[in-house]
Amino acid sequence: MFSLSQADISKEVAHVIESKWGFGSREIWRNDQRRYKHLFSEGETSHSHGSTPETDDLEFYLAYHGMMIVAGKLLLSRPLHQNPNDFEDGFQYWLDSHKLSRGDGNWLADRRDPQPLEWPDWKNQKEDIDEWPWSIHVSDFDRLLGINDKRINVWGHWTTKFGKREESVHISSAFVSCERSNALLRALQTATNPIYYGIPGADDELQINHGEYQLKGWLVDRTRDNGLDEFDPWSGDIRFPPIRPEREVLKALPIFSDAEGRIWKRKDSNRNVLWCEIWGQHQNKDDDNAVEHGRRLIADFGYLTDLLNRINRDLIIEVQITRNILRYRYERDKENDFGYIPPYTKIYLLKSDGRFCTV
């Protein structure tokens, strides 16, 4: 950033650590009580160039803060170097890569929600491991969508596990022209493989705008790389920012959210109409199997139908379910390899009059 070599920067950082803070190389080792008492697990403090370790030992902690001190001094004494082929602010990009994940100063942990309290029926059933990947019924799709409730899941992906059984869910939805919605419903449900099509988000290239053929995403689900708090135990390995409606939706039927994007309210009634949940936990290094995690947007049924009427659109919804058997490494070599198995998929059409249609 300042047209200086790595050796020059390292020398300046070492000067800060040794001369300003009084830590020589031996002093760092002796003062790092966790390392001295062998409290770090294998690989916990290791890192490659440009990355951060899972846990900072004293050496990395001092190097990081020494680097920031040097950067501050150079900002006052030298001009910044900007790559002429780079349109971004190089220094700001570098600085952001060494900050918290969120730009508002809050931590990822501030946005982590409790794990949903839902308890699917299959958790109460006797385990039949061999049949589990293929034991999906129509009622499972209705349950995951929330078709009999006043709230439905309109977007998200999450994983639920119990014992050796794991269920992964993906739900997406988009606006579709009322004149062609039934045709799209039939086409998608009878497609040979769901990988050949996609329900677009608001910033997705899969959107269609061709006369009466309209397929428009209405939700934004675009996460960014995590920063310094990626390994914070309380962050639960979640991703930020949360799912949110795109700008045109906010104009069509005005709603507003709290600072964390958890709850959206209608401006005309101050009633809660959207809920965004993000949950998860860090996986134990010694555990081969996945942990429960997910993110989803839940919509009030009345708000959805009001919105569809306001914009004269129907809502096409795709629900995908994949079930796996969780096995330890030594068990995986023994299982049969069926190759890639597409997820079980069901398409729903929510009409502007509140009716659900399926094939």
The per-residue pLDDT for range 271-288, each reduced to its tens digit, is 999 999 999 988 776 565
Written as one string, the DSSP assignment of 295-317 is: EEEEEEHHHHHHHHHHHTEEEEE
Domain check: are 75 and 115 in the same one?
Answer: no
Averaging pLDDT over each range in 15-24, 102-111, 123-132, 311-320, which range is the top one? 311-320
Domain check: are 171 and 50 in the same one?
Answer: no
Q: Which residue has the tokens 């920031």?
A: 68
With pLDDT > 90 as the criterion, what percentage of the chain qualifies? 64
What total of structural domains would you count in the chain? Answer: 2
pLDDT score of 329: 64
pLDDT score of 20: 92
Average pLDDT on 125-144 reads 89
pLDDT band at 334 (very low <50, low <70, confident <90, very high): low
The per-residue pLDDT for range 83-97, each reduced to its tens digit, is 777 767 788 888 888
pLDDT score of 43: 85
pLDDT score of 28: 86
Spatial CA neighbour of 344 closest among 144, 153, 186: 144
Q: Is the pLDDT of residue 24 over 90?
A: no
Rounded to the nearest integer, the mean pLDDT of the chain is: 90
Domain residue limits at 190:
111-357
CA-based R_g, the chain, Å:
25
Domain check: are 136 and 275 in the same one?
Answer: yes
Q: Is the pLDDT of residue 17 over 80?
A: yes
Domain check: are 76 and 157 in the same one?
Answer: no
Q: Is the pLDDT of residue 335 over 60?
A: no
Residue 103 lies in a domain: no
Q: Which residue would you say has higher pLDDT here, 62 or 340?
A: 62
Written as one string, the DSSP assignment of 60-83 is: HHHHHHHHHHHHHHHHHHSPPP--
pLDDT score of 288: 55
pLDDT score of 139: 94
Residue 60 lies in a domain: yes
Q: Which residues contact 343 (CB under 8 A, 6 or more apart)?
A: 168, 170, 194, 320, 321, 322
- From residue 95, how far is each of 91, 101, 258, 259, 268 by CA, in Å? 6, 12, 28, 24, 41
Q: Is the pLDDT of residue 332 over 80?
A: no
The per-residue pLDDT for range 294-305, each reduced to its tens digit, is 999 999 999 999
User: What are residue 217's phi and psi, to 5 degrees?
Assistant: -70, 145
Q: Is the pLDDT of residue 49 over 60?
A: yes
Residue 1 lies in a domain: no
Residue 63 lies in a domain: yes
**What do you get for the CA distance between the two ends of the chain, in Å?**
59
In 3-state terms the chain splits into helix, strand, coil percentages (rounded to 5) of: 30, 25, 45
- The CA dihedral of 36, 45, 100, 21, to the nearest 10 degrees, is 40
Look up residue 292 and give its DSSP letter.
-
Domain check: are 92 and 141 in the same one?
Answer: no
102: left (phi over 0), alpha (psi -120 to 50) or beta: beta
**Could you give the CA distance from residue 10 to residue 244 in angstroms, rounded to a whole number?**
43
Residue 106 lies in a domain: no
The per-residue pLDDT for range 224-242, each reduced to its tens digit, is 888 889 889 899 989 999 9
Domain check: are 94 and 221 in the same one?
Answer: no
Provide the sign of the torsion angle of the four alpha carbons 251, 256, 259, 264, taken in this order: negative
Q: 195 and 340 in contact (C-beta within 8 Å)?
A: no
Give the angle subtended at the CA of 297 by the CAs of 256 and 238, to the nearest 5°: 105
**Could you give the CA distance from residue 249 to residue 260 in angstroms, rounded to a whole number?**
19
Residue 252 lies in a domain: yes
Domain check: are 181 and 41 in the same one?
Answer: no
Which of 77, 98, 119 is the endpoint of a domain? 98
Residue 317 lies in a domain: yes
pLDDT band at 256 (very low <50, low <70, confident <90, very high): very high
Which of 74, 98, 122 is the endpoint of a domain? 98
Please tell me whether residue 183 adopts helix, strand or coil conformation: helix
Give the angle subtended at the CA of 114 by the CAs of 291 and 223, to the nearest 5°: 70
Domain check: are 185 and 232 in the same one?
Answer: yes
**Could you give the CA distance from residue 133 to residue 128 in angstroms, rounded to a whole number?**
10
Domain check: are 94 and 115 in the same one?
Answer: no
Domain check: are 211 and 338 in the same one?
Answer: yes
Q: 218 and 245 in contact (C-beta within 8 Å)?
A: yes
Cis before residue 241, ω within 30 degrees of 0?
yes
Residue 104 lies in a domain: no
Which of 98, 128, 144 is the endpoint of a domain? 98
Domain check: are 33 and 150 in the same one?
Answer: no
Tell me the pairing of strands 208-210 and 165-177. unpaired
Domain check: are 201 and 73 in the same one?
Answer: no
